[in-house]
Amino acid sequence: MTYKSGFVAIVGRPNVGKSTLMNALVGQKIAITTPVAQTTRNRLKGIVNLANAQIILVDTPGIHKPHHLLGQVLVKNAISAIKTVDLVLWLVDGSCPAGAGDRFIANLIKESQQPTIVGINKQDLGKEGLPSYQEIAQANNWTWENFSALDGQGLTDLQTKIIDLLPPGPQYYPPDLVTDQPERFIMAELIREQVLLLTREEVPHSVAVIIEQVIEEPKITKVYGCICVERTSQKGILIGKNGAMLKEIGTQAREQMQKLVMGKIHLELFVKVEPHWRSSRSQLAELGYQVERDT
Ligand code: GDP
Ligand code: MG
């Protein structure tokens, strides 16, 4: 049997379940998922290692109409992700019919002329959207698969379809790797996830997390992290009454991080105000976001 491998971009509207699907296929939590749209910022790779194939999933930020510089960067990253991969997995929420946002993305993919699978997700919630997505798939000669990333139903068939469409290729990454990102990055993301989950709309997406230091001791790993916000009022919300909010964020994030490192974690968090970081390219780059050049 020929060994197959390749890069698969998971693209789709915000909140359709891209990060959830990536974690489910990889079998480990590497991408954060929240009910808040636009959680994923960086391009994160998830590696699925099988006896006959290596699937490298590229999680992309959701594609939407950009409002500020960070938004434009997100869309640009998603579009360039489509062009550089071997296969596109267009993920949609199959529990509701295709809307303008879905058709916008379908057109971007069509223009790229890349081999494409339509992944019809959230089938546990209902199948109302199924006919509309199948119609778009048929019009473009794309194959499709319906499944639930949350409960796992249909994912084996999806995996088989992905491998079918991948070219023969090498093992790009060592087989024990599940992601291309360093542990520090995942740790920062796990903290950001709790900030988004626990503060909701009060602290919007203007949050960045930096891991300043990781000290590995024999029995415990000490992690020092900084949460950057744009306004003093947001700092207040994050810290909470008598520090209660920051404590809760830390407790929840620490639990997730202990699963990641499979050991004990001591976590200390600080909050810092960095005005206007979202509009500044150099600061975006400094905070670790990939700002791609115009081509
Ligand atoms: P992304 O923005 O596309 O990366 O979406 P996420 O993976 O962050 O998921 C957004 C929300 O949809 C989260 O609350 C997930 O738990 C939920 N979700 C993802 N996949 C499914 C699914 O198959 N069924 C259901 N019911 N919810 C899902
Ligand atoms: Mg995501």
Assign residue 195 the CATH number of its domain: 3.30.300.20
DSSP 131-148: HHHHHHHHHHT-EEEE--
Top-ranked range on mean pLDDT: pick from 57-61, 162-166, 185-189, 272-276: 162-166
User: How many structural domains compose the chain?
Assistant: 2
**Average pLDDT score over residue span 128-155:** 97
**What is the C-alpha end-to-end distance of the chain, expressed in Å?**
40
Longest dimension (CA), the chain: 62
Q: Check if 15 has its Cβ closer than 6 Å to any atom of ligand 1.
A: yes
Q: Which of 165, 196, 219 is the last residue of a domain?
A: 165
The SS3 assignment for 211 reads: strand
Select the more confidently predicted residue: 165 or 291. 165
- For 91-122, what is each residue's pLDDT tens digit? 999 999 999 889 988 988 998 889 999 999 99
Given a cut of 60, is residue 180 above it in pLDDT?
yes
Q: Check if 94 has its Cβ closer than 6 Å to any atom of ligand 1.
A: no
Q: Which of 130, 165, 200 is the last residue of a domain?
A: 165
Probe residue for ligand 1, chosen from 19, 20, 146 as the CB with the greatest number of ligand atoms within 8 Å? 20
Contacts (Cβ under 8 Å, ≥6 apart) of 290: 42, 43, 73, 77
- For 43-92, what is each residue's pLDDT tens digit? 688 999 999 999 999 887 666 655 566 666 666 766 777 888 999 999 99
pTM passes above 0.75: yes
Nearest CA to ligand 1 atom 12: 17
22 and 161 in one domain?
yes
Which CATH number is 28's domain given?
3.40.50.300
Domain assignment present for 178: no
**Predicted pLDDT of residue 295:** 29
Contact between residue 114 and residue 106 where contact means Cβ atoms under 8 Å apart: no
Contact between residue 294 and residue 77 where contact means Cβ atoms under 8 Å apart: no
Domain extent at residue 247: 183-286
Which amino acid belongs to residue 194?
Q
Task: Report the separation in Å between the CA atom of 18 and the middle of ligand 2, taken as the mean of its atom positions.
Answer: 5
188 and 159 in one domain?
no
Domain assignment present for 170: no
Q: Which of 165, 199, 222 is the last residue of a domain?
A: 165
Tell me which of 80-84, 106-110, 152-156, 261-265 is least confident. 80-84
136 and 255 in one domain?
no
Closest approach atom of ligand 1 to CA 32: 8
Contact between residue 18 and residue 85 where contact means Cβ atoms under 8 Å apart: no
Domain assignment present for 142: yes
Task: Report the separation in Å between the CA atom of 218 and the middle of ligand 2, taken as the mean of its atom positions.
Answer: 34
190 and 143 in one domain?
no
218 and 138 in one domain?
no
37 and 115 in one domain?
yes
Closest CA to 203 of 20, 15, 19, 36: 36
Torsion of CA 92, 95, 97, 103, to 10 degrees: -10
